[in-house]
């Protein structure tokens, strides 16, 4: 009787919600646990495709992304201010945008001639490309670095040289220095993108080899040795870009952070379709005879080349970074 009275006294001074639990413990009557009233929310890990398509798509970069190789000044430019940036609907970016059902809008902001600095600070009076990225962006594509390395004037020097001159390969030391100087600038670009869209997948494209792996004939005043050298500096540029992209991806993985930075090595992507081949994916030397000037389309992708780039990006969207994504969706039961 005293035990029961003590139990009653104990129950009288505890909150109502604990009466049943304490009563079962004190009286040792084996009460069955109460059924939970509902399930807790669950975290679901997103697939790479789900991450990429969950928000908007933003295409950034230089002439290899803007569509310089198929740009037609007589046609309607693609997007606001595109005339000065030579943005073309024939570029890979509009093709990627049209191939997927993105959860947000697609923005095409690549600009011909862009350097890493211009991507960060603006070009032709336009807002910086990187500012187009936002928290709602889930996929960014980017090609950058060729203008930092000075590839356009390098090619000009190679083509304009005297046939027996070594002026092309004599640029080697200067080009290597510019490629080394690119690395910290590219880190700034990727840091800027990640700061604005920390959960996005960022796909960084390398550049294709412009000439056959083993050239055997002269093409537009470029000897076989010149072509091998130009292939080599393209490889060096890709290695630098790829190394910086992989550094970011390793840090993201190490900290278990969302998003990704994925490098797509396009060096062999045009294999069998280089300049001088029967069906090239790159324009050769294009001269405007009326003005006796080199057209900017020279040594940029053709329509087939941009379709190949679109394939590379779409394949990477499907494949992902080769690891589980650390992006999650909170599911309410």
Give 155-223 as a 3 state SS string: HHHHHHCCCCCCCCHHHHHHHHHHHHHHHHHHHHHHHHHHHHCCCCEEEEECCCCCCCCCCCCCECCEC
Taking the model in full, what pTM does it have?
0.84
The whole-number pLDDT of residue 40 equals 74
pLDDT tens, the chain, 333 aa long: 444 444 443 434 444 444 445 445 444 445 656 556 667 778 899 999 999 999 999 999 999 999 999 987 655 555 555 678 999 999 999 999 999 999 999 999 999 999 999 999 999 888 999 999 999 999 999 999 999 999 888 888 888 777 777 888 899 999 999 999 999 999 999 999 999 999 999 999 999 999 999 998 998 888 999 999 999 999 999 999 999 999 999 999 999 999 999 999 999 999 999 999 999 999 988 776 565 566 788 889 999 999 999 999 999 999 999 999 999 998 776
The whole-number pLDDT of residue 310 equals 98
Which alpha helices (H) appear in the chain, and where do they start and end? 2-12, 19-27, 48-53, 63-66, 82-85, 92-99, 116-121, 151-160, 172-196, 224-254, 303-319
Pairing state between β 260-264 and 201-205: parallel
> In angstroms, rounded to a whole number, what is the distance separating the alpha carbons of residues 10 and 2?
12
> In angstroms, rounded to a whole number, what is the distance separating the alpha carbons of residues 169 and 151?
13
Contacts of 231 by beta carbon, 8 Å cutoff, 6+ apart = 209, 210, 211, 213, 215
Residue recorded with tokens 């060729």: 146
DSSP label of 256 = T
Residue recorded with tokens 């900017």: 296
CA distances in angstroms from 301 to 189, 215, 316, listed in the order given: 24, 19, 20
Beta bridge partners of 142: 60, 204
What are the tokens at 97? 């945008």
The whole-number pLDDT of residue 151 equals 86
Contacts of 251 by beta carbon, 8 Å cutoff, 6+ apart = 257
> In angstroms, rounded to a whole number, what is the distance separating the alpha carbons of residues 223 and 217?
7
What are the pLDDT digits (tens) for 68-81?
999 876 555 555 55
Q: Which residues are catalytic?
A: 63, 300
Contacts of 105 by beta carbon, 8 Å cutoff, 6+ apart = 56, 57
């Amino acid at each position: 009787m005293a035990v029961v009275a003590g139990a009653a006294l104990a129950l009288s001074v505890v909150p109502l919600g604990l009466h049943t639990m304490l009563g079962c413990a004190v009286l040792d009557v084996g009460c069955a646990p109460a059924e939970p009233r509902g399930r807790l929310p669950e975290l679901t890990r997103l697939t790479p495709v789900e991450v990429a398509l969950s928000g908007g798509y933003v295409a950034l970069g230089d002439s290899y992304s803007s569509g310089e190789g198929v740009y037609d000044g007589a046609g309607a430019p693609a997007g606001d201010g595109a005339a000065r940036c030579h943005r073309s609907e024939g570029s890979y970016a509009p093709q990627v945008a049209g191939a997927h059902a993105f959860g947000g809008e697609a923005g095409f902001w690549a600009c011909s001639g862009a350097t890493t600095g211009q991507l960060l600070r603006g070009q032709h009076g336009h807002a910086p490309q990187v500012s187009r990225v936002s928290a709602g962006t889930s996929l960014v594509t980017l090609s950058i670095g060729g203008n930092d390395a000075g590839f356009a004037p390098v090619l000009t020097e190679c083509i304009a040289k005297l046939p027996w001159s070594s002026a092309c390969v004599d640029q080697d030391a200067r080009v290597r220095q510019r490629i080394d100087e690119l690395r910290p600038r590219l880190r700034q670009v990727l840091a800027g993108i990640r700061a604005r869209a920390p959960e996005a997948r960022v796909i960084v494209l390398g550049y294709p080899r412009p000439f056959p792996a083993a050239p055997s004939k002269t093409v537009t005043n470029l000897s076989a040795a010149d072509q091998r050298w130009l292939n080599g500096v393209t490889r060096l540029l890709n290695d630098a870009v790829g190394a910086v992209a992989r550094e970011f991806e390793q840090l993201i993985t190490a900290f278990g952070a969302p998003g990704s930075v994925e490098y797509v090595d396009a060096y062999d992507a045009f294999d069998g379709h280089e300049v001088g081949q029967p069906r090239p994916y790159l324009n050769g030397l294009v001269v405007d005879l009326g003005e006796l000037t080199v057209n900017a389309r020279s040594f940029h992708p053709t329509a087939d080349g941009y379709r190949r780039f679109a394939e590379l990006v779409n394949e990477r969207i499907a494949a992902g970074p080769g690891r589980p994504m650390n992006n999650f969706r909170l599911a309410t039961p």
